[in-house]
Each structure stands twice: as structure tokens, then as C-alpha cells.
A and B are shown apart, each in its own frame.
Chain A
Amino acid sequence: MIEVRDLTKRYGSKLAVDQLSFTVDPGRVTGFLGPNGAGKSTTMRLVLGLDHPNAGSATINGKPYHELAKPLRTVGALLEVKSVHAGRSARNHLLFLAQTQGLPRARVDEVLGLVGLADVADKRAGSFSLGMSQRLGIAAAMLGDPQVLLLDEPVNGLDPEGVLWIRNLMRQLAAEGRTILVSSHLMNEMAVTADYLIVIGRGRLITESSTQDVIARSTDKSVRVRSPDAARLAELITGAGGAVVPGGTGAPGEPAPANGAGLVTVTGMEAPRIGELAASASIVLHELTPLASLEDAFIELTSGSLEFGKHGPDPVAARDGSAR
């Protein structure tokens, strides 16, 4: 289990991670979604103890990373940036890592076989293709048979076969009860890989929810509804063709969960129609707020750091496009 509490990291004047809190539970693939520059890699580096936070804490199974005695036996990590000497063979790279953890030499051959690099184990890592390098990174992450895995953009630049391989591996590892946190800037990729999503932009948490919910909210305009009789209202809305998700979207200005009793988010139905449905059944509404879609919120929060080309250079055009 990974726990991040009020994590904050500043590089000079740039706030890379801003009071970020979330928990990654075992037994499922948790996607860490956000545009490039949102602070995903920084958060992972903070969790892994490579960078020091300005405030807040990150723990793995209750301990900060640097207190883990043989960390690779608890945590495996694949970083987005390279961390292999181009002149060193795959086998020697894994061997020195294994030696730091007191792992037997045979374990190196096991993970080389696991990722399909046994035949090129003694070739220089610099001669590897992108896909092979990525698999060497996975081998290093799996070396200590860790319960917790952090993978930063593992499918970046891979061919479809490689993408499928990593996707299946993650699902399998999660099914074995491990904790998997995998980052991506692509919602499509996360949609098919992750069971649960943590979405961040500009270093802040935008939302966290099951992948299904996030997708439902991100593709449709949604309406925030608060009612003391939310359950009955939800039935009505569902019956009339709308979809109801308990809780809010995590959008700015939303009340904290403690005040969120009776709060639901409705998609696939406009606010006036919800109001009419409530009136027809004499259900009291405390709030009825049309919301921008998650993707709108996402773009709004992150428009300064979005990579051009993904949504087009014009943020307004991008918003119109995503609103359909």
C-alpha cells in the first residue's frame, strides 16, 4: 500500500506537486493520470525517496522509502528516465542490483527469462531497442519480487505487442494481490489498464475514482445534485435514462466529503430535466449544479502545461471538441 499525505514539492519557483494526498491499495491496478508536466513523475520520485519533499509525506507499507531495509524486495520501480549504463550488459546491471539486496545470482536469470531477455543478457544495454530497454526496466523492478510496483509511463514508445505485454503483466501482478501504481498521460491507455484512477493536474488532485466512473464523467457533461432523498431521486433518474454516481467529481469548489451527504453526480441528463423529475416526485433538491466534464476541468486546470498536438494548440477548440 502506498500512502501520500499533503505531499508538496517546489523546484525553484515552480510548484511541481501541491498538497497531494492519495492512497494506492493492493490487488488492483491504480492508474496515475495527468497531462505531461502534471507532477506524476515528481510524485513517484518523492515516493521513492529520490527527491525530498518540501512538505508532506509518502510511505510504502507504512514506512518512508529510505527506512526499507532491502527496498527492492518491497518496492519495484520503473522510471521514465533511463537508469542503465549503456556500456553495461543487462545481466551485470541486474546483478549489481541483486547484490545490494542479498539476492542470489540465479534470481537475475529468472527475471531475465520472465521478461524475455535471456538471449541478449550479455549484450550491452545501449544496443537495446526501446522495447527491450523497457523490459530490462521491468526486470529490474521485478528483481526483488516486490509487493508494490511503481511504473512511470511504462508503455511510452512501445509497439502494440509490447503495450499488450505490459498491460497483461500489470493485471496479473495486481491479481496476485500486489499494489500497482502506473502513470500515463493518455486517458485511453488508462481506460483499458487501470481499475482505479488518480487524476492530477498541475500537481493537484483533480479526482480519484474507479476507472468506470471517471470515464463516465469525462465523456459526458455532468450535473451535481444534492438531495436529502438522493436514493429515490437516483432511481427516477436511472429510470429516465440518466446515470448516477454517488459522490462528487472532485471539481474545484465542491464541498468536502463530510458535507457531501446526499451528493450524487448525474451524467447523461441535463439539469432542467433532473429538476422536473424531482418536482414531479416532490423530492427536495438542495443543489442542482451543471458541471463541466472532467476533461473540461482537466484541460482548464492544466491548459498551461498541456503538450500541444494532443488536443490541438487552441485550448478553446480543444474544449469544444471534448464537449462533443
Chain B
Amino acid sequence: MTSAPPVTRARVPSVRPAGRAGFGGLLRAEWTKIRSVRSTVWTLILFVVITVGFTTLFTWLTVANWNGPRAASRDATVASDPIRFILGAGIGLGQLTICVLGALVITTEYSTGVIRASLLAVPRRIQMLAAKVVVFAALLIVVAEIVVFCSFFIGSAILHSRVAVSLSDPGITRAVIGAGLFLSVLGVFALAIGALIRHTAGAITTVIGVVFVLPILSGLLPGSWGAHIDAYLPEQAGSLIDEAHQQSGQLLSPWQGFGVFCLWTAVLLAVAAFLLVRRDA
């Protein structure tokens, strides 16, 4: 396949002037981009395997060691808030892959240069970003909801012999659906940071810093202002949604916390969109 084709054959067939395009076309294009690259597909598979796998592993180990040595306080925690335990077990690690995936979806366009092809095709850059966010969020909602419901059913089945938890209990259905929504918004949050930083390593480091490291530091802040900062951090606020009910001493309700997280994401996206239009590609 090295010989050039004869140019006489190169008569270029003209294109029908009619044809679907508009925002629907941009959505189809972004879907093609996501599904046609191994890194995104594999990261998504990794998310499913890690989340479901670790939910199963943690709940099984906990049940197996129930009443075991040094297990009393853990057993009490699990019994008092079983849904947070079940969902937290897998999501705690699974959300790492979502952070990576969200950043990759946009930073690989920069590292590979595809961003230039994308912007030549869609010079109205905000539309390109909007289509990417919509497609990625839709994909995540579907996959994450399936994953969190699977995690819940597996986890609650394993835990059933010790603690019974059912979707009909107050707050449980909201917590499970909410966990899927949290992961979806987390992906968009990471995408926004990726769009701002434009380098894969830098973006992933930043997202992980904000999501995993900042809460550790903010937890050490003294006084009520420290508690407020801690409560309003993106991940701290957003993950409240997978609790069955607001704990005493928590500043935000589950939905309020999720709202704060959505607001963080919206602001980052707005800044990313602004810079996308202003910066040279």
C-alpha cells in the first residue's frame, strides 16, 4: 500500500448539498471519537471492573470477618450506614478511573493534535465542547447507573446476613441513583479541568489533587470556617449524595451537596469554554 493511486481516477465526486448536520451531527461525531479510541474504552471497562469488583471484595471480607478481632467499631459503622459502606467500597477506587477518563477525553485531543481537525470542522468551539460534554455525560450516566445498581445489589446481597438494606428503605434509592449521578458529574468535572490544562499528566494530577488530596488537607483546618471550606469542596459536597440521610453536624443535605458539586463543575466548564474560544489552538 505504498504506490500512489493514479490521479486520473482522482475525479472528485461532488457531495450532495443536503444532509443532516447541526448539533446532532456534532453529537454523533463526539460519540465516534470516544468509541474509536482504545484508551477511553479500556478506562471505562476498568471503571466497571474495579467498582463492581471492589464492592464485592470489601463487602465479602467485611461479612467474613464480622465479629472478628478488631472489627467491632467497623461493624458498628457498617450497621449504622450500610448504603454508604456498600457504595463507598467500590466507588472510592472506581472514581479514580472516572477522573482519568474525563481528563483523557479532552487532553488526548491536544496531545495527538486532533483538536486542530476538530476545530477546523467545528470552528464554533463552544459547540464542540458542549457536544463533547453532552455525549460523555450521557455515556457516564448510563454506565455509572448500571454499575452502582449492580454494586448495590451484589453488596446488599452479601451483607444481607448481617445488615438488611433495601431500595425501599428511606433514602436508599436516592443514594444509589445519586452515586451514579455523582460519578457522571465527576467525569465532567475532570473533563473541564482537562480542557483548562490541556496536558494529560497535568490534568490528571490536578483532578486527583482536588478530589483526593484537598479533602485530607481541608479536614485538618481548624474552626468553623475550616469546616465550611471542607464541606463545600467539590468531592466532599458531591459525595454526600450517596448517604441515606443527612448526618448530624453535616452542613449540607445530600442534594445540597450535589448541587454545590454541580455548581463547581458548571463554573469550571464556563471558564474552560471561555479560554477555549480565546486561546490559540
Contacts and interface: CB of A to CB of B under 8 A. Distances in A.
Contacts, number: 140
21 contacts: A45-B280, A51-B280, A71-B120, A72-B121, A77-B120, A79-B116, A84-B112, A84-B117, A88-B114, A92-B32, A95-B32, A96-B32, A96-B33, A101-B121, A131-B4, A132-B2, A145-B12, A165-B4, A165-B5, A169-B7, A173-B12
Interchain residue pairs A-B with the least CB separation, the first 5 = A102-B21, A116-B5, A165-B4, A92-B36, A102-B19
Interface string B101-126: 00000001000111111111111100
Interface of B: 1-5, 7, 9-10, 12-16, 19-22, 25-26, 28-30, 32-33, 36-39, 108, 112-124, 278, 280-281
Nearest to B9: A114
Contacts of B10: 114, 168-169, 172
A245 interface: no
Nearest to B33: A96
A53 to B, nearest CB: 10
A324 interface: no
A102 B124 CA distance: 16
Interface residues of A, number: 63
Interface of A: 45, 48-52, 65-66, 68, 70-73, 75, 77, 79, 81-89, 92-93, 95-97, 99-104, 107, 110, 113-117, 119-120, 129, 131-132, 135, 140, 142, 144-145, 159, 161-162, 164-165, 168-169, 172-173, 176
Contact of A82 (B2, B21, B112, B281): B112
Given A51-B281, A92-B36, A102-B21, A71 B2 contact: no
Contact of B123 (A49, A95, A96, A142): A49
A87 B38 contact: yes
A168 B25 contact: no
A83 B16 contact: no
Contacts of A71: 120-121, 123
The CB with the most chain A CB atoms within 10 A, among B14, B22, B117, B280, is that of B117
